Amino acid sequence: MRPILAFAFALGFCALLPRAGDASSWSLFPPILAISVGILTRRLILGLSLAVISGGVLASDAVAGVAIHKIAITYLYEPVFNSFSGHILAFTACLIGMVRVTSLAGGNRGIALLLSQGAAGARSCRLASFLMGLAIFFDDYTNTIVVGSTMRPITDRFRVSREKLAYLVDSTAAPIAGLAIISTWIGYEVGLFEDLMKDLGTGYSGYQLFFAALPSRFYCILTLVFVVSSTLLGRDFGPMLRAERRAQQTGQVLAEGARPMTGQYADVETIESINPRWWVAAMPVMAVIAAVIFGIGWDTRANAEVVSAASEGYLTSAYWTDAFKNADSAGVLFRASILGALLAFVLALTRCADGSPDRPISLPLAISTFFRGAWGVWYAFAILILAWAIKAVCDDVGTGDYLTHLLSPVISPVLLPLLIFLLASVVAFSIGTSWTTMAILIPTVVPLAHNLGDMALTILAAAAVLDGAIFGDHCSPISDTTVMSSIASSCDHLDHVKTQVPYALTTMGVAAVCGYLGTAAAYPSIVGLGIGVVVILTILLVIGKPTDALPS
């Protein structure tokens, strides 16, 4: 019944919109249908699949044979089975499998224990949780599970509330994974950007757009600033302040009547007889980073543009900008992830049990762990494949052209990044996932920004989609990472959402006004970040109160 309601809503919505130039309002039907089905049913793959099918019907004038060919070949086969897309999928699978193998060998526990050793009080314990979140930057799921499950006994001992731990876990996982140059997120984001940049004729690669957008990722950056500032200043406000003072004054890390969540994600797959060592996880990641940097340079060593830039020095921004622009970035990422995975296997297979020469990790166990990790994110792969299909659909039915003709007379380019940020926030909050939000909106609104403005506006719009998606995901009670943060921290889920939302909304407001609106209207993004930091510090100092203050 609900898919039918979503279908009816999308039909009615598009029927009421006017024609814009040569473009029909029905070009909006596929993305509107995907959003509607996602909101009403929570079945995201169903929504994206129906959107792809409807796009095939619209683009072929309802001719059955033509529609089937478009859906199967143009929208699914061609976008997926090309060199770039195949490498991106393989890179993501290898990186996730690598993380699972290092976790099995005690590497992720080693990082956690290394950073938690200095905890001597509530404040240092919160800081250790934040630093651990920064250290495990390569995957948000791993970040959430490792930080929450490892720090929970320590934060309990120092009377840090479970609500605070869940917030620290949730507010470092996605922001740091979304910003990191090597993570399971970057392949997804670069994959969404790559073909779009080619179609728009920008001269940018997907990797280059990702780097260009980093200084404009206001919500992610300011969220990390908020977390560390609140921790170092020892100040909180709202429901979080009440939760922290309850824990400090009574020792009750959970509210009375709370139902702490537990589940399959509460613990990390590992072998207890192996002593945790931080370098087991760090070395493969560092190998991947080094391989990417070397691989980009090697892949473009014969490119005339890069060679010319290299004459000014290999450490100049011009050289690396041209190198990333011209490199086969997906192929480089894939080969680097292979190297990291092989190193993870070697380290895992040579780990010995504590006080024994026995090596408890066999090759079959390591291989099965690797493939279980890769297969465990099939859902994300399905969304990524359908995201490429949605992009092809929007190109075919003219979604970007319609939005440009409809909105360009009424929307100022100055307001566009802010509106995109807010739209992405609402969609992600409603459907509970940032990746699907990116998949739907990037091929829809980024071309609009490019047509209304210049490349600077396009970069700002791309950053606004990514950041809005993460903000909405943070606040949504149905988000997977929000739920996993509650599970890993063993926190009541509603208490986690209730205490996190005021902080997320505060950071979102600062990012929206000081970041997206201010940068589009008046100043460079670095100035917007600086103003945002000052505003956050002011809010914490004026509104916030000492977290650990006890009654006299």
Q: What is the pLDDT, as a whole number, of residue 313? A: 79
Residue type, 53: I
Say which DSSP state 514 is in: I
Q: What is the pLDDT, as a whole number, of residue 266? A: 42
Q: What is the pLDDT, as a whole number, of residue 439? A: 81
402 neighbors 27 (Cβ within 8 angstroms):
yes
**Which of the listed ranges 36-40, 275-279, 291-295, 504-508 does the model predict with the highest average pLDDT?**
504-508
325 or 29: which leads in pLDDT: 29
Q: Helices 107-116 and 140-157 meet at what angle, rounded to 10?
A: 40
Q: Which band of pLDDT confidence, cut at 50, 70 and 90, is reported for residue 263?
A: very low
Residue with tokens 């009574």: 250
Q: How many CB atoms lie within 10 A of CB 1?
A: 7
Query: HEC string of 392-420?
Result: HHHHHHCHHHHHHHHHCCCCCCCCHHHHH
Q: Could you read off the pLDDT of 137-148 as tens digits, one per residue?
A: 766 766 776 777
Q: Which band of pLDDT confidence, cut at 50, 70 and 90, is reported for residue 174?
A: confident
- Is the pLDDT at 127 greater than 60? The verdict is yes
Q: Which of 9-13, 133-137, 321-325, 368-372 has the lowest average pLDDT?
A: 321-325
Say which DSSP state 235 is in: E
292 neighbors 333 (Cβ within 8 angstroms):
yes
Both structure tokens of 289: 């980073």
pTM: 0.71
**Which of the listed ranges 57-61, 339-343, 359-363 does the model predict with the highest average pLDDT?**
339-343
- Is the pLDDT at 552 greater than 60? The verdict is no
Residue type, 440: I
386 neighbors 55 (Cβ within 8 angstroms):
no
Q: Which of 9-23, 177-191, 202-216, 465-479 has the lowest average pLDDT?
A: 177-191
- Is the pLDDT at 93 greater than 70? The verdict is yes
User: What does the DSSP assignment read for 239-259?
Assistant: HHHHHHHHHHHH--SS-TT--
Mean confidence (pLDDT) of the chain: 82
Q: What is the pLDDT, as a whole number, of residue 119? A: 65
Question: What Cα–Cα distance (Å) separates residue 74 from each residue in 83, 113, 311, 386, 389?
Answer: 16, 50, 42, 12, 8
The Cα 482–Cα 112 span in angstroms is 20
Q: Could you read off the pLDDT of 33-81 as tens digits, one per residue?
A: 887 887 787 676 888 888 889 888 888 876 777 778 888 887 887 777 7
Q: Which band of pLDDT confidence, cut at 50, 70 and 90, is reported for residue 94?
A: confident
Q: Which residues contact 229 (CB under 8 A, 6 or more apart)?
A: 536, 537, 540
Q: Which band of pLDDT confidence, cut at 50, 70 and 90, is reported for residue 238?
A: very high
CA nearest to 469, candidates 271, 185, 75, 183: 185
Q: Which band of pLDDT confidence, cut at 50, 70 and 90, is reported for residue 377?
A: low
Q: Which band of pLDDT confidence, cut at 50, 70 and 90, is reported for residue 466?
A: very high
Q: Could you read off the pLDDT of 472-530 as tens digits, one per residue?
A: 888 877 676 787 788 778 888 788 888 999 999 999 999 999 999 999 998 999 999 99
Q: Which band of pLDDT confidence, cut at 50, 70 and 90, is reported for residue 433?
A: confident
Q: What is the pLDDT, as a whole number, of residue 245? A: 93
Residue type, 112: A
Do the strands 545-546 and 235-236 form a parallel or antiparallel pair, or are they unpaired? antiparallel
Q: What is the pLDDT, as a whole number, of residue 551? A: 47
355 or 126: which leads in pLDDT: 126
